[in-house]
C-alpha cells in the first residue's frame, strides 16, 4: 500500500471516520456459480463512468479509505481502470475482484491495474481440483486459464489473493485448497463464510452453501488452525472467525457486532448504499446531493455471518479491537 493511502487510513481511523465499501459496478458475469444468482439478472447493468467517478469522490469525502470493486465481474466494465485510478487519487486502498481468469490475459489488464494503483487482485478460488473448480463456476478449463493468468500477473507486480468460499466441497479439506493456492503463487488467502441472501440486488445461496451449522463450524475451526500456522497468508482474523463460530452456536454470545451501515457499506449498480449485500434497506443514494455522512449511522447488526462485513467490523470496536490489531500486525499483513 502506498504511503499516502496508509496515512489516509490512519488519519480516518483516528478521526473515527474510517469506512470500507464494496462497490458493485455491474451485474454482468461470465461465471454461472451455483451459489450466486447475479448472472441470471436482466437487464445487464454497467454503471455510468462519470456517475461512478463522482460516487467514488463522495465515498472518499465520507471517510471511505478502502474500496473493493466488485460485480458481477468488474473486469467486464470498460471503465474499471478509471475507477481504480480515481480511488488511488483519493488515497483509497483498493481491491478488484475477478471470477473469470481468462479476462486477466487480455488487453494488458493486469499491468493497467497495477499502473492505476490497484493494491490487490482478488480471484475466486474454491477448490484445488480443476474439475471441481470448472463445475462450481461453470467455466471450462478455469484452472488452466488461472495458470496462464499468473504468468502475466507476476510480470505486473500485482499482489493477489485467493478468495475461498467455504462450501460443501471444501469445508473438510481447506488445507488442500490453501496448498494449491500457495503453489499457484497467491500472496494471500481470504475465506468467505457461506451465507444466504434474498436481496433483489445481490441474491446469494444455493445447494453448494447449504451446509449444516456443524459443517460450517468444522470449516472455520480448520481455517483458524491454518491461520495460526502462518503458512498460507490467511488474512481472516482468528478472533473474527471465532466470533462467527460463537454466532453460529448462539448469536447472543458474540463479542463483536457487525457495523454494516455505519463503517462498512455496500454500494450497488443503482448507486444505492446498503448496510451490506444481505439487506434490502438503503441508507440513501450516493448521487443525491442531500445525502450526508451522518446518514451512515445504522445501529450494530447481528443478523448474518457475511465475512467481509463482519471481519472488517472487528477493527472498529474501540479498545475491544486492540487484540485484533495486534493479531494482524503479528501475523500476515492484512490488505487493508
Tens digit of each residue's pLDDT (9 = 90 or more) over 18-42:
999 999 999 999 999 888 888 888 9
Alpha-carbon dihedral sign for residues 246, 250, 255, 260:
positive
Reading the block at residue 26, the C-alpha cell is: 455491474
What 3-state class would DSSP assign to 267?
Answer: strand
Q: Which CATH class is domain 3-330?
A: alpha beta
Average pLDDT, the chain: 93
Alpha helices in the chain (DSSP H): 3-15, 49-61, 80-89, 109-116, 130-137, 142-156, 174-184, 213-229, 238-249, 307-313, 322-330
Decide: 134 and 179 in contact? Cβ < 8 Å.
no
Q: Dihedral through CA 153, CA 119, CA 96, CA 182, nearest 10?
A: 50
Q: Kindly report the pTM of this predicted structure.
A: 0.94
d(CA 295, CA 105): 41
pLDDT at residue 336 in the model: 43
Contact 190, 124 (CB under 8 A): no
Angle at 224 between CA 98 and CA 118, to 5 degrees: 25
Q: Are 184 and 147 in contact (CB under 8 A)?
A: yes
What pLDDT score was predicted for residue 203?
76
Give the per-residue pLDDT at 34.
Answer: 80
pLDDT in tens, the chain (336 residues): 788 999 999 999 999 999 999 999 999 999 998 888 888 889 999 999 999 999 999 999 999 999 999 999 999 999 999 999 999 999 999 999 999 999 999 999 999 999 999 999 999 999 999 999 999 999 999 999 999 999 999 999 999 999 999 999 999 999 999 999 999 999 999 999 988 777 778 777 777 788 999 999 999 999 999 999 999 999 999 999 999 999 999 999 999 999 999 999 999 999 999 999 888 889 999 999 999 999 999 999 999 999 999 999 999 999 999 988 888 766 555 444
β-bridge partners, 260:
264
Domain ranges of the chain: 3-330
Amino acid at each position: 500500500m502506498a504511503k499516502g493511502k496508509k496515512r489516509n487510513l490512519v488519519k480516518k481511523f483516528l478521526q473515527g471516520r474510517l469506512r470500507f465499501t464494496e462497490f458493485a459496478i455491474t451485474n454482468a458475469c461470465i461465471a454461472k456459480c451455483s451459489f450466486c444468482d447475479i448472472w441470471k439478472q436482466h437487464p445487464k447493468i454497467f454503471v455510468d463512468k462519470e456517475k461512478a467517478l463522482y460516487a467514488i469522490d463522495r465515498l472518499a469525502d465520507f471517510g471511505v479509505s478502502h474500496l473493493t470493486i466488485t460485480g458481477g465481474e468488474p473486469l467486464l466494465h470498460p471503465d474499471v481502470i478509471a475507477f481504480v485510478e480515481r480511488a488511488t487519487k483519493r488515497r483509497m486502498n483498493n481491491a478488484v475482484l475477478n471470477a473469470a481468469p481468462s479476462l486477466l490475459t487480455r488487453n494488458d489488464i493486469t499491468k493497467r491495474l497495477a499502473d492505476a494503483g490497484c493494491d490487490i487482485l482478488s480471484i475466486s478460488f474454491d477448490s484445488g481440483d480443476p474439475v471441481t473448480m470448472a463445475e462450481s463456476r461453470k467455466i471450462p478449463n478455469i484452472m488452466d486459464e488461472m495458470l496462464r493468468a499468473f504468468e502475466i500477473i507476476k510480470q505486473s507486480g500485482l499482489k493477489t489473493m485467493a478468495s475461498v468460499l467455504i462450501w460443501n466441497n471444501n469445508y473438510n479439506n481447506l488445507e488442500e485448497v490453501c496448498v494449491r493456492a500457495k503453489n499457484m503463487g497467491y500472496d494471500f488467502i481470504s475465506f468467505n463464510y457461506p451465507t444466504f441472501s434474498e436481496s433483489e440486488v445481490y441474491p446469494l445461496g444455493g445447494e453448494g452453501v447449504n451446509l449444516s451449522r456443524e459443517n460450517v463450524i468444522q470449516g472455520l475451526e480448520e481455517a483458524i488452525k491454518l491461520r495460526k500456522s502462518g503458512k498460507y497468508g490467511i488474512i481472516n482474523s482468528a478472533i473474527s472467525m471465532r466470533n462467527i463460530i460463537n454466532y453460529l452456536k448462539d448469536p447472543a454470545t458474540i463479542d463483536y457486532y457487525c457495523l454494516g451501515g455505519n463503517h462498512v457499506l455496500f454500494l450497488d449498480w443503482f448507486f444505492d448504499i446498503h448496510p451490506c449485500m444481505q439487506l434490502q434497506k438503503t441508507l440513501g443514494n450516493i448521487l443525491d446531493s442531500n445525502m450526508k455522512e451522518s446518514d451512515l449511522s445504522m445501529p450494530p447488526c447481528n443478523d448474518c455471518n457475511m465475512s467481509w462485513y463482519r471481519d472488517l467490523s472487528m477493527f472498529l470496536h474501540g479498545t475491544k479491537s486492540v487484540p485484533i490489531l495486534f493479531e494482524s500486525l503479528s501475523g500476515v499483513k492484512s490488505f487493508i
